[in-house]
């Protein structure tokens, strides 16, 4: 008997400054040339969010022109608990958008707030828009600029592809579902600045290896998509600069020793994508004879730049042991799930790391005082 694969979801939250929004081909409108949607209009938007002086995350959006739009009306839900939204043709919504908005009926795909206006009380308030992803990309492209301070949230997806070297590579995509411009500019130099580059990810535990000499552990997690397809992704636990309680070292050891394949876990941490410059001792071995004579006094140090890109686990929010067996991920599967061991059941103590994630489970939610978001538009 096998266990049906269930989607594992991931979300992210970034606060920082916009970069590369004006780069050529970062916003593309074209007609699909192949696939099931061949001949249909499609849009793609990509830009960066600098979350610290050294960390920058690339985010994006993609959509074909929708055939239908899912709409939600909070008042209808309050009056009728069985109300579950409605679907209308995209062309109908587009032509009657203002009428829908005036009645409080809006799409739920993306929530955008970039422009501000003064209300009747003289207070500067963000103008929130609920848009299909297809329309949101055009609006963001036209109204967002490099250097704007924003908070952006969304979901995480993964895909594999073969690179130019013939190696299979897993890429991580940060898909925008909520974007708001902040009234107060992000100041990296402020002594109270605290970076926000966060993720939350559900996954099936595959394996863990603790590299004690490097003070880190590498975790392999299996991500299951909505269509039951899955891909393995890598995560890192760093404990080189651990706290006095050795919190992250204990978490790394717990993953390596106690957690078994098939456990369903939910982790949170930091998204890292930065260039690290360091000084290394120069090597004169490759210099030719003439250059060696011209070089004079030896340059003892050279600058080397290394690029770091990984998802750093800082804590575990949940662990459910023994959910899947290896055969659940194959075509031949008639084994029962193995019983949970006592060690694995108790492992969450050290796996917790630094506590609960700061990323909201609500992809449209926000906890910044710089803007207001009405959660009544959500269908739950």
Around Cβ 340, how many Cβ atoms within 10 Å? 15
φ, ψ (nearest 5 deg) of residue 144: -105, 140
Least confident of 12-21, 64-73, 148-157, 167-176: 167-176
Confidence band (pLDDT; 50, 70, 90) for 348? low
CA nearest 131: which of 180, 99, 178?
A: 178
pLDDT band of residue 42 (cuts 50, 70, 90) is very high
Q: Does the pLDDT of residue 343 top 50, yes or no?
A: no
If you average pLDDT over residues 46-61, what whole number do you get?
97
Structure confidence at residue 373 (pLDDT): 35
pTM: 0.82
Which element (helix H / strand E) includes 218?
strand 216-224
**Mean pLDDT, range 146-150, rounded to an integer:** 98
Cross-strand bridge partners of residue 92: none
User: Which of the four pLDDT bands, split at 50, 70 and 90, describes residue 337?
Assistant: very low
The architecture of the domain spanning 10-66+132-277+306-370 is Beta Barrel (2.40)
99 Rama class: left (phi>0) / alpha (psi -120 to 50) / beta: alpha
What are the tens digits of pLDDT across the range 241-279?
A: 988 889 999 999 999 999 999 999 999 999 999 877 766
Percent of the chain with pLDDT over 90: 69
Give the DSSP letter string of 333-378.
--PPPPPPPHHHHTTHHHHTTT-S-SS-SSTT----TT----GGGS
What pLDDT is recorded for position 334? 29
Helix (H, G, I), strand (E, B) or coil at 18: strand
State the average pLDDT for the chain: 86
In tens, the pLDDT along 197-245 reads 999 999 999 999 999 999 999 999 999 999 999 999 999 999 999 888 8
């Amino acid at each position: 008997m096998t266990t049906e694969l269930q989607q594992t979801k991931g979300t992210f939250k970034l606060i920082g400054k916009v970069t590369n929004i004006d780069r050529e081909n970062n916003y593309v409108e074209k007609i699909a040339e192949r696939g099931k949607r061949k001949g249909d209009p499609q849009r793609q938007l990509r830009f960066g969010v600098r979350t610290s002086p050294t960390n920058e995350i690339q985010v994006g959006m993609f959509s074909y022109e929708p055939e239908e739009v899912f709409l939600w009306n909070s008042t209808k839900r309050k009056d009728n608990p069985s109300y579950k939204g409605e679907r209308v043709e995209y062309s109908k919504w587009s032509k009657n958008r203002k009428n829908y908005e005036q009645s409080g009926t809006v799409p739920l795909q993306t929530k955008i707030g970039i422009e501000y206006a003064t209300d009747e009380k003289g207070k500067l308030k963000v103008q929130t828009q609920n848009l299909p992803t297809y329309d949101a990309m055009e609006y963001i492209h036209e109204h967002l600029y490099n250097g704007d301070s924003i908070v952006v949230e969304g979901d995480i997806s993964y895909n594999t592809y073969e690179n130019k070297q013939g190696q299979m590579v897993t890429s991580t995509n940060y898909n925008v579902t909520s974007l708001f411009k902040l009234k107060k500019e992000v100041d990296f130099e402020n002594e109270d600045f605290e970076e926000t580059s966060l993720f939350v990810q559900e996954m099936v535990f595959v394996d863990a290896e603790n590299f004690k000499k490097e003070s880190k552990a590498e975790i392999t997690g299996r991500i299951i998509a909505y269509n039951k397809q899955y891909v393995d992704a890598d995560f890192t636990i760093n404990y080189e600069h651990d706290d006095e309680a050795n919190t992250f070292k204990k978490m790394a050891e717990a993953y390596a020793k106690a957690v078994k394949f098939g456990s369903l876990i939910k982790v949170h941490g930091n998204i890292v994508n930065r260039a690290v410059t360091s000084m290394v001792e120069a090597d004169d071995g490759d210099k030719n004879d003439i250059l060696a004579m011209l070089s004079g006094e030896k340059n003892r140090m050279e600058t080397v730049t290394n690029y770091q890109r990984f998802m750093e686990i800082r804590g575990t929010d949940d662990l459910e042991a023994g959910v899947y067996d290896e055969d659940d991920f194959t075509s031949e599967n008639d084994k029962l799930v193995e019983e949970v061991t006592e060690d694995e059941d108790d492992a969450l103590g050290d796996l917790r790391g630094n506590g609960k994630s700061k990323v909201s489970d609500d992809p449209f939610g926000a906890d910044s005082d710089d803007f207001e978001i009405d959660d009544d538009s959500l269908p739950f």
